[in-house]
Amino acid sequence: MNYETIQKYIEQIETSDIRSIDDQELEEYYHQMLNEIYDTVTIGCSTFDPADILKELDPIAYNVGFSDYTSSQCEDQYYEINGAYYPQDEVDSLIESIVA
């Protein structure tokens, strides 16, 4: 596959109805995952989400975890194209329809 063909596919993907997600949305998913896996923490009358605690108290660990999460999600479920993430199955279907 040559450069022009790849550029054509990228343009088709970016202008298609395929919904992409960005880093902010991926971070929201990561935040939700942390909150689902770990229990909330209650101190006195206050309750805190685990993701908020980790992000505030150990931002390096939070960012490393987010990076790992993003890598695994993108590797397994998304293609990254120009900073946006597109579901692999939808992109593959679109490319198959273009080629056919």
Look-up: residue for tokens 């395929």?
Answer: 18
Containing 23, the helix (H) or strand (E) segment is helix 23-37
pLDDT tens string 23-34: 888 899 999 999
**Is there a domain that residue 49 lies in?**
yes
**Is there a domain that residue 2 lies in?**
no
Mean local confidence (pLDDT), 51-56: 97
DSSP string, 39-50: --EEETTEEE-H
Going by pLDDT thresholds of 50, 70 and 90, the confidence category of residue 62 is very high
Greatest C-alpha distance within the chain? 63
Give the residue numbers spanning the domain of 86.
21-99
What is the total count of domains within the chain?
1
Mean local confidence (pLDDT), 21-44: 93
pTM, rounded to two decimals: 0.71
Contacts of 48 (CB under 8 A, 6+ apart): 40, 41, 42
Contacts of 73 (CB under 8 A, 6+ apart): 26, 29, 85
**Is there a domain that residue 82 lies in?**
yes
**Is there a domain that residue 14 lies in?**
no
